[in-house]
Chains A and B, each alone.
Chain A
Amino acid sequence: MTVFGVAHIIQQRQDYENGIERSYRTEMVARVKLAEGVAPKASRHAVLRQEAHREELRHSISHGTRNTVILVAAGLLAGLLGALLLFAGLIATMRRPLEALVSAAGRLAAGDRSTRVEVGGPAETAALGTAFNEMAAELELEASERDRLDRMKDEFVLTASHELRSPLTSVQGFAELLMMDRESLSPRQVETVQIILDNCRHLVRLLNDLLDLARSDAGRLTIKPRPTQLTPLIEDVVRTMRAQTDADRQTLVERIDPQLPLVEVEPDRIRQILVNLVTNAHEYSPDEATIQVIARVADSVVQIDVTDNGPGIPAAQADHIFERFVRGDAGLTQRVGGTGLGLAISKSLVDLHGGTIEVDSVVGRGSTFTVRLPLAPPGAIESTAPSGPRALAEGQR
């Protein structure tokens, strides 16, 4: 229609130009005649008539063009409207299934793997819906399979860890029994039994760590925080560890801010973290090294630094130090008996408390592990709830 309109305009324009040309030619002839004095009256009349004729032509062409332009515009408008209506209809039929898909995708992303959509609408949205449902079904299957395997793994670790404890009790217990009679053993035998005992302790540590990690993975590592005074706790850890550091002529000191406020923590778990950090400092540092445990208030948290002047940790290792089974180079010492799990567990525990743990180390100068713990609510008083059976059970952490 537009093409037809434009062609029409060109044709009209050509006709108009031909008409004007013809009119000028006729007028020219009349003017020549007038100049030669041939029929002056008729010639003058012809000139005037041609001028009027051209005026008429001009008027007609502008009128005709306008009409055609209006026609073309109307055609265009009608076409656009038609297309719009068609499009709106199409959108209306696709809109509902698409909206359903969008909200279902949101639910799926949020973790509801049982979500499905009603398949419908035009072929394309129906195909999209079918594909979505198949994908969701597959995800659901994978997720349930993964959950099942995770549960199996947790169960396995828990069971294995328990089952190993009875034979371990026997091995350790009978070795201890032998040691009670050490006067009747040769020095070589005493050394042998001591190795058995050292390895038993290592196994116990490994079992406890694995159990904590399995609990952490299963979301079953829980804490019961309560307002706690850290000073006696730190002093106790330092006292316990001193036997080991003294044996290697290492210096172990604590520097505790006397104004230390109460923190909101589970004391046994903080003890576990501190024992782990001090044990690491002891095991990785050479004889005669200095280990400091410094506690102070910093920016509305309590900050505990465990600092040593040992070999330090290269930056590449420090980046992964809180991951499982990552252990620093034994370096200068042969003491290292860790499981590679201690820091991973310490981090899980600090996270559970809403605190932070980080390491700052310079190779050749030493390392500082920093734990930040939340303060107890203002006005809280230390609850001296006995740790009850747990304290008794705390023999070898």
Chain B
Amino acid sequence: MTTVLIADDSETILLLMRTRLELAGYEVETAADGQEVTELVDPDATDGPDILLLDAMMPRKSGIDALRELRAAGLETPALIVSAHQDPSDASAPQDLEISGYLTKPIDFDLLLETVAELTAKTG
């Protein structure tokens, strides 16, 4: 079963995303900020989450910073960034960071589930 790790500093949004993803048949892990993400994900492990869904801006450590650290450690798991910014250029989303997609808040769940399904199909 495909596991998605979601990170957002809002418990309500975590609950919402968990519900929608679980209804669509995914297994869900959650993290409250980027710090927790880096603690939860082991870049060398083979049984980690299959997809990361990270909020761009979170206290302690942002989703972008967490992903940068993990990528530097060799993690290749596909990652989607969620941001309150309407425009990727506003979120200072780095061009060099490998990101599979960019979603804005309020989240369009049809688009989110479609994108996650595509990534699942790609990674097998």
* Chain B interface category by residue count: 20 to 34
Question: Are A389 and B88 touching (Cβ within 8 A)?
Answer: yes
> In whole angstroms, what is the CA distance A170 to B106 when docked?
8
Does chain B have a CB within 8 A of A325? no
Does chain B have a CB within 8 A of A168? yes
For A159-179 the 0/1 string (1 means CB < 8 A from B) is 001110111111011101100
> In whole angstroms, what is the CA distance A389 to B16 when docked?
23
- B10 is contacted by which of A170, A174, A176, A200 (Cβ under 8 Å)? A170
Does chain B have a CB within 8 A of A204? yes
For B71-110 the 0/1 string (1 means CB < 8 A from A) is 0000000000000111110000100000101111111110
- Summarize A's interface: helix, strand, loop or mixed: helix
Question: Are B16 and A169 touching (Cβ within 8 A)?
Answer: yes
- Summarize B's interface: helix, strand, loop or mixed: mixed
- B85 is contacted by which of A162, A173, A388, A395 (Cβ under 8 Å)? A162
Does chain A have a CB within 8 A of B111? yes
Inside 8 A of B17's CB, which chain A residues have their CB? 173
Question: Are A166 and B87 touching (Cβ within 8 A)?
Answer: no
Inside 8 A of B2's CB, which chain A residues have their CB? none
Q: Could you list 28 examples of A-B contacts with CB < 8 Å?
A: A162-B85, A165-B104, A166-B105, A168-B105, A168-B106, A169-B107, A170-B16, A173-B17, A173-B106, A173-B107, A174-B16, A176-B109, A177-B20, A180-B23, A208-B86, A211-B86, A389-B88, A389-B93, A389-B102, A390-B87, A390-B102, A392-B102, A392-B103, A392-B111, A393-B86, A393-B102, A393-B103, A396-B108
B residues whose Cβ falls under 8 Å from a Cβ of A:
10, 12-13, 16-17, 19-20, 23, 84-88, 93, 99, 101-109, 111, 115
A residues whose Cβ falls under 8 Å from a Cβ of B:
161-163, 165-170, 172-174, 176-177, 180, 200, 204, 208, 211, 388-390, 392-393, 395-396
